[in-house]
Chains A and B, each alone.
Chain A
Amino acid sequence: MWFFTHVWIIPALMALSFLLILFFGKKMPKKGAEIGIVFVGAAFVLALLTGGNWIAWSNDNPEGHGPAAEGAALANVDPSCSSVAAEAAAVGEGVEQVEGKTAASEPAGAEKGGHEEVATRPVVSCVNWFENGDQTISIGTLVDGQSVLLLIVVTLISLLVHVFSTDYVHGDRRYTHYFAFLSLFTASMLFFVLSENTLQMIVGWELVGVCSFALIGHWWEEKPNSDAALKAFLTNRVGDIGLLVGVIVLYFAAGKSFSILDLNILANEGGISHNLLLIGSLCLITAVMSKSGQFILHTWLPDAMAGPTPVSALIHAATMVVAGVYMVARLYPVFFEGLSISGSSVNALSMIGAITALFGAMLAFVQKDIKKVLAYSTVSQLGFMVTALGVGAWTAALFHLFTHAFFKACLFLGAGSLSHACHHSFNMVDDMGGLRKIMPKTFWTYLVATAALAGVFPLSGFWSKDEILAGTGSFPGTQGANGEYHVMLVMLLLAAFCTAAYMTRTIWYAFYGEYRGHGTPHESGPRITTPLIILASLGAIAGIVNLPAAFDFLPEGAQTRFEHYVEPVGLYFPAITHAGFNPALAVVSVLVGLAGIGLAYLYFFKDAFAGLHGLAERNKVAAFFKNILVNKYYFDWLYTTVIVGFVKGPLARAANWFSANVIDGLVNLVGKTAVGSGNWVYKNVDQKVVDGAVNGAGSSASGVGAMLRLTQTGRIQQYAALFFAAVAILAGVFVVVIG
């Protein structure tokens, strides 16, 4: 319990670290890096301890079923944070309120492969933040499986990135500031993750955004970098409109409460009208689109690669960009009820996710820059997670978030290691190649992470991706899912296919053929390779934490651990159902991945060695690969053929074009129009009409004055004449009026 009520220490540690580095960093022997590492290390240890405690806490859960137990499970919620939860905790109340719902959730519990599902006991503690009018707004922490999971992921990746950075940005002109912002970012992200209410979420959400801004623009002397930073911030701000409006709508919907538990319980029990939930969820989806790089607001994410590579790994791959996914998961009842996820076959969230997954993957083909490939891959994988949430596969989304964090961070750091060796170039087509032998550690870790991303059995990506695919409920035999999302399944399979293929392509460019860059590349030092090895190992084995329930040959308690500890059960979470493991689907998904890899090879063979295929020819591929790169024609041919060959080729180009011209063009147009209309309004309305009226009043007054001045000749006689004239006229008037 102590760990749950004092979990605020973890973000506070990182905030303290930020301040210490900012004020004393430059005076330290290692320029502040050591402060960051010590603090993030401590945060990681605390996060692990919290995780261990959470598992013990969950295992220690008193048995019991039904509404009363679900209400009682909320007993650890501070009543001042969530009045609704407090009400439900008073058991009798709980029974009354949830009678209708629990009947439906019973079969779900029964299906969970033999594990007794008992209600999760979230721990919420808070203090009074401020009072506004009659509202009391609190600040606090909400600890349950989901937040504990992110605590561990964020601190772990952050720790590894810190270590990696000490070598990677060594000697940078703003080394200290870099570490300060890493600390601030980690603090903000943890603050966001632990949010007890939606207002706190906004705060964390924007703070991570500003850290991202600062770190993308780390080398702000060059204009493209600051442009990218601005683009990221502004695109996110566009999404934030949705966030602000959505949070406001839900605040009033939940009876003037920001509390996540209040909102979730009310949404879950039908205490909020469907329309309000729909509006709220659609607004929040806008925010997800910008933060998590979903189509059509994804354009900032590839540009964000202008920042230092470790930042891309930490912020723009593993943690910050999943904030959108996390938020949807956090407020899941709102989306589940608002979008009617259960029992339907299409909704906004899943559609956006699926489009992003597929289009993002296709865009990755036309990139020369290895980081951009990975960026589009991130976009695509985030699409997977969002689709998973959209189809009701909550656990699958979070599980994919978990595994993706490891292998994608590994890939980004690997790319950083490559560029470290190749004179800080990320152009894999022109400046890399043949690095397999020179950088074996980077190569192997990169390869493992790629295989994990491509979903090769039995690496972690396979398990999480398979769960998402099963979660669509479309494949024959995946009974028990929340709906039947056929379109999504097809799109995701295509995306998985593309993913396998483009990742193969990066491996070829970076590690095979001959070195095409300048100088002599070398393997990076241990501070770079150690994080790679750790991440690759985790990326390989992380799948075991959520083995399917169908694996009943395993000892009791080895399956679906992730689901068991992370997915909440209770009043504040919808009664989602879980698709069973389907061997046929698993085979299909592996085959799709392998086909992607295989076909990617074939395109390099086909011309010279017609008829040959298979994976064995790797070295010859490498030899031929060199020829292609020497010849520019081959290069073009490769692109056209790959694109045409993958059928979706024209679409990818169209998507790229659309992304670069239409959407970006629209953004630019809006910007230009805004500036233009600003200019126009300023010049014409502001300066002429409004100001003109003001000046007009002034000048008309002075004009009258000038006329009157003419009468002031200074001649006494003229004054006297005027005086008599006036008297005469007045006398006349007097006579006429009075007489």
Chain B
Amino acid sequence: MMNFLNDWGLVLTIFLPLAGALVMMAIPKQSEGAIKLVALGAPLAAAAMGILLMLNFDYGDSEHLQFMVNKNWIELINSNFILGLDGLSLPLLALTLFIVPLVVIYSWQHVPNPGNPKAFFTLMLILETAMIGSFLAQDLILFFVFFEVTLLPMYFLIGVWGGEQRRYASIKFFLYTLFGSAFMIVAFVALYFLAKAPTGIALEQLRALGGSYADMQAGDPLHSFGMQALTYSGAAGIAKTTAIVIFGGMFLGFGIKVPMFPFHTWLPDAHTQAPTQGSVILAAVLLKLGTYGFIRIAIPIIPVAARAWAPIIGILAVIGIIYGALGCLAQTDMKRLIAFSSVSHMGYTMLGISTLTAFGLNAAVFGMVAHGLITGLLFFVAGSVKERYHTLDIKRLGGLLISAPKMGWILGFATMASLGLPGLAGFWGEFPAILSAYDPAVGLNVVLFRTLMVLAAVGTVLAAGYLLWLYQRTAFGTPSEEFANDPNITDVNKFEWLAWSPILAGIVILGFFPGLIFNVAGPAVEVIARTVGG
């Protein structure tokens, strides 16, 4: 069993959805039942594989990559097919495997206009493969490939199944992200050429990490894309200024994906126009690729530059928190408001990352998962509201608790979770991040970070403000005349229950047992924090 998992576990988890997509190609368009069965079966198979992996995962050793796969891939550039699972990847892998089947279940009854479930689910399965691959890849090129492959299905999901301005939104999403990736790949290539094998460490170790060639000597260029090898060599041989520029490239690539403050404008458009399923996946998983990239790649590989960039990231994160919240207050569209709240919430995650401490990074990992669940749920509910009311204009909504009481309760639950109520998952992403800013890594400006801490704490008030304001205007009160006796407005249906109740349970469970993530990710981020000297 262990052997099988070691060899095939991760590969199967990644490619089972893709296999599902291939199978689906063979199914004729008319037999929707079979299509949906495959669409649900493939992610469930991947999830089952994931559960097997998680059951066999050595939690006492979560700082090391497990179930490693290391095969030659593109020998010309010494890029290898390296996969691995450690405490940092595990929560995100779990999140992805958790969310996608729920999205499929939610789509069971309503594939958005213009229909065509075959194409819709095929894209979703490809997307899942790409997302899982990004979280498991341990080679920069492999990561980059998966990272970019996520773009295409999402582009089509928005562009074909989206709202009225879907073309604008999808192109904006695509170009914006691609713009960032361009800088990112340049940074990767620069690392490949500039990183050198450091003196004074065992080269065998470096070779074992899959990053070098046989006759390499200390001081030789590393010529490797292996994340482990690069991390191990600690960016030796790269001058500080060069390192800062390289980090800048990655910052653009990952920061746009997060999205950080000045690069966030694609997000509201993409979310507003995307179909519900797209919004959920985008918010729940895709945004995390950015923050994950920071923690997995940018910070450990070039820690020198990370320290230089940390204050900037911190400042932008806090601007994002406050600014996103202000943006929320100005919104009249429910989905757009939730989208802006993502900017604010991801700000907490980035603040945690910018402290470069184990505590902060761990808070960021928790924040990613919590935000994925909570915002995913919020988008689900918003989608269902839109389906019933045919509008998301906050001014026209109201009285959801009367029209569809259960949905109103779920929305209330999600807003409470989103505003960081202790006992629910959101709190553990927010409070520890704020806390970590009090005591950033050695060498960072303490006064600056403490100021950021207070500002971030102020952000929690604004968050409560816009979320409760949203809730008051959509759920409280009585329904307006136009919707008062609308027979289309029904309460939560069977498929929505199936899709939502696991998320509800997840939010509560993580709220009461934060150790489920903290304990797993802790050792892994601690190693990273140590490389930065935090």
Contacts and interface: CB of A to CB of B under 8 A. Distances in A.
Do A and B touch (CB < 8 Å)?
A: yes
Interface of A: 128-135, 199, 202-207, 210, 217, 220-221, 223, 226-227, 230, 233-234, 237-238, 240-241, 244-245, 248-249, 251-252, 671, 674-675, 677-679, 681-683, 686, 690-691, 694, 698
A686 B439 CA distance: 32
Top-8 shortest CB links A-B: A130-B515, A133-B358, A203-B422, A678-B326, A678-B329, A678-B330, A682-B330, A220-B476
A220 B329 contact: no
Interface in B271-309: none
B73 interface: no
Contacts of B327: 678, 681-682, 686
B476 A226 contact: yes
A204 B435 CA distance: 18
B341 to A, nearest CB: 13
Given A199-B431, A206-B427, A240-B461, 9 more contacts: A132-B362, A133-B525, A134-B526, A203-B422, A207-B423, A241-B454, A241-B460, A248-B438, A694-B266
B510 to A, nearest CB: 10
Contact of A681 (B262, B326, B472, B478): B326
B469 A133 contact: no
B256 to A, nearest CB: 11
B466 to A, nearest CB: 9
B476 A252 contact: no
A655 to B, nearest CB: 25
Interface centre among A249, A251, A682 (most CB of B within 10 A): A682
Contacts of B460: 237, 240-241, 244
A206 B421 contact: yes
Contact of B329 (A205, A227, A244, A674): A674
A639 to B, nearest CB: 35
A513 B414 CA distance: 51
B323 A130 contact: no
14 contacts: A133-B357, A133-B529, A220-B475, A233-B468, A237-B465, A244-B434, A248-B434, A248-B438, A251-B438, A252-B439, A674-B462, A678-B330, A691-B265, A694-B265
B135 interface: no
A291 to B, nearest CB: 14
Nearest to A235: B461
| Chain B interface, DSSP helix/strand/loop, else mixed | helix
B438 A207 contact: no
A679 B457 contact: no
Contacts, number: 136
A690 B475 CA distance: 33
A237 B515 CA distance: 26
Contacts of A133: 357-359, 362, 522, 525-526, 529
A682 B343 CA distance: 13
Interface string B356-374: 0111001100000000000
Nearest to A135: B359
A226 B477 contact: yes
A479 B472 CA distance: 54
B175 interface: yes
Contact of B431 (A202, A204, A675, A683): A202
Contacts of A205: 422
Contact of B515 (A129, A204, A675, A683): A129
Interface in B512-534: 513-516, 518-519, 522, 525-526, 529
Contact of A234 (B362, B458, B464): B464
Given A221-B477, A244-B457, A233 B464 contact: yes
Interface of B: 172, 175-176, 262, 265-266, 323, 325-331, 357-359, 362-363, 399, 401-402, 416, 421-423, 427, 431-432, 434-435, 438-439, 453-454, 457-458, 460-462, 464-465, 468-469, 472, 475-478, 513-516, 518-519, 522, 525-526, 529
A248 B401 CA distance: 37
A248 B518 contact: no
A240 B421 CA distance: 12
B363 A132 contact: yes
Contacts of B513: 130
A241 B461 contact: yes
A318 to B, nearest CB: 23
A132 B464 contact: no
Given A245-B453, A248-B438, A698-B175, A207 B422 contact: yes
Given A129-B515, A682-B330, A237 B461 contact: yes
A678 B454 CA distance: 20
Given A206-B421, A220-B401, A686 B265 contact: yes
Nearest to B518: A130
Contacts of A682: 326-327, 330-331
B21 to A, nearest CB: 32
A134 B519 CA distance: 10
Contacts of B331: 682
B171 to A, nearest CB: 8
Given A133-B358, A135-B359, A210 B435 contact: no
B208 to A, nearest CB: 28
A234 B328 contact: no
Contacts of A679: 329-330
Contacts of B515: 128-131
A251 B330 contact: no
Contacts of A252: 438-439
B468 A130 contact: no
A133 B175 CA distance: 38
A251 B461 contact: no
B337 to A, nearest CB: 11
A227 B476 CA distance: 10
A223 B478 CA distance: 9
A132 B476 CA distance: 39
B326 A132 contact: no
Interface centre among B435, B438, B477 (most CB of A within 10 A): B435
Contacts of A221: 399, 402, 476-478
Contact of B477 (A206, A220, A248, A690): A220
B452 to A, nearest CB: 12
B329 A675 contact: yes
Interface centre among B329, B421, B522 (most CB of A within 10 A): B329
Contacts of A207: 421-423
B326 A674 contact: yes
A230 B472 contact: yes
Contacts of B266: 694
Nearest to B525: A133
Nearest to A694: B265
Contacts of B465: 234, 237, 671, 674
Nearest to B420: A206
B423 A203 contact: yes
Nearest to B172: A694
Nearest to B329: A678
A669 to B, nearest CB: 14
A241 B457 contact: yes
Contacts of B439: 252
Nearest to B529: A133
Contacts of A678: 325-330
A251 B357 contact: no
Nearest to B472: A226
Contact of A210 (B172, B329, B421): B421
Given A133-B529, A682-B327, A241 B458 contact: yes
Nearest to B432: A132
A234 B467 CA distance: 11
A130 B514 contact: yes
B433 to A, nearest CB: 11
B176 A694 contact: yes
A680 B303 CA distance: 39
Contacts of A251: 435, 438
Contacts of B461: 234, 237-238, 240-241
A135 B529 CA distance: 14
| Most chain A CB within a 10 A radius of its CB, from B357, B434, B457, B469 | B457
A675 B416 CA distance: 21
Nearest to B516: A130
